[in-house]
């Protein structure tokens, strides 16, 4: 992930993978892999942008034709390191890459996909132009973006807890980055501005279930750059902040399990 990559380091990548993976990413990874598999030819060349810890990578590899290849990229070396450490497949190669300046030749890939990375690209039109440049004629780019807090109440509740705890200067990562880019008209605008002429936008919803509220609170607070935001505010132990967020989640969604809903915006562009 681009602008937030410096803070996806230290303990964050593993916490992200362990707690947020099964909570909010796995269902969408399976859904994206199925959609992508319907488009691929036997020898397809596929590129993944902002792969993070490889959650969707694994699902795509399970659906990838035997003769196809997958190039897995992310700007954050620590995040990519987690992916490399958990994936062993000769069809996959890993490379650090900036989505706004891809180190690949024109028309090098038949399909592209990106799960929850587009929100982080600082120049979204340029990132779309780069995706379009490396995509072969007739190729497709599939990506998803989180919908607003209205449709993702669990992280919305964590954000509300942060605002309560830091009323003068709350960490705003969740509100401004992953859940702050859900304007569908704007998504279509920059996708088309990048050179894609066929753009389909749809909503995809799944249950959002954590074994316990504590797990969800830990994921959103210690598995994201929220943790760095706490450090910037002089908080060296996130435990009290996490516990208050877990209490808020329990009150709204229960504890064991902690159950809510979640929704994403899925874009298919060609």
For the chain, the structural domain boundaries read 5-269
pLDDT of residue 7: 62
Alpha helices for the chain (secondary structure H): 12-15, 26-37, 55-63, 77-86, 124-134, 153-165, 173-176, 184-193, 213-222, 226-232, 239-253
* pLDDT mean values, one per 10 residues, the chain (270 residues): 53 94 98 96 97 96 96 94 94 97 98 97 97 97 98 98 97 96 98 98 98 98 96 96 98 98 98
- Judge if the upstream peptide bond of residue 257 is cis by omega within 30 degrees of 0: yes
pLDDT of residue 5: 43
Separation between Cα atoms, residue 143 and residue 50, nearest integer Å:
10
Residue with tokens 């753009």: 199
pTM above 0.75, yes or no: yes
Separation between Cα atoms, residue 8 and residue 96, nearest integer Å:
14
Class of domain 5-269: alpha beta
pLDDT of residue 9: 76
Helix (H) or strand (E) holding 113: strand 109-115
Give ∠ CA 60-61-65 in degrees, rounded to 5: 100
DSSP 8-state symbol, 148: -
pLDDT of residue 8: 78
pLDDT of residue 175: 97
State how far Cα 105 lies from the chain centre. Answer: 25
Gyration radius of the chain over CA positions: 18
């Amino acid at each position: 992930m681009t602008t937030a990559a410096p803070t996806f380091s230290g303990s964050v990548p593993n916490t992200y993978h362990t707690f947020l993976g099964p909570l909010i990413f796995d269902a969408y990874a399976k859904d994206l892999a199925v959609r992508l598999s319907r488009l691929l030819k036997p020898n397809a060349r596929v590129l993944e942008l902002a792969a993070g810890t490889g959650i969707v990578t694994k699902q795509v590899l399970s659906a990838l034709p035997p003769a196809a290849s997958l190039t897995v990229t992310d700007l954050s070396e620590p995040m990519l390191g987690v992916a490399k450490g958990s994936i062993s497949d000769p069809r996959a190669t890993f490379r650090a890459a900036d989505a706004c300046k891809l180190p690949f030749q024109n028309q090098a890939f038949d399909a592209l996909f990106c799960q929850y990375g587009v929100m982080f690209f600082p120049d979204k039109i340029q990132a779309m132009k780069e995706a379009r440049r490396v995509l072969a004629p007739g190729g497709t780019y599939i990506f998803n973006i989180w919908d607003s807090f209205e449709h993702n109440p669990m992280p919305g509740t964590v954000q509300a807890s942060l605002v309560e705890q830091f009323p003068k200067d709350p960490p705003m990562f969740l509100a401004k980055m992953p859940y702050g880019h859900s304007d569908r008209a704007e998504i279509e605008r920059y996708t088309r501005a990048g050179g894609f002429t066929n753009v389909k936008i749809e909503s995809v919803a799944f249950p959002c279930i954590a074994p316990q509220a504590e797990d969800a609170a830990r994921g959103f607070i210690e598995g994201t750059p929220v943790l760095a935001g706490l450090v910037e505010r002089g908080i060296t132990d996130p435990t009290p902040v996490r516990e208050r967020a877990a209490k808020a989640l329990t009150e709204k969604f229960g504890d064991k399990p902690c159950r809510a809903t979640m929704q994403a915006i899925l874009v298919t562009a060609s």
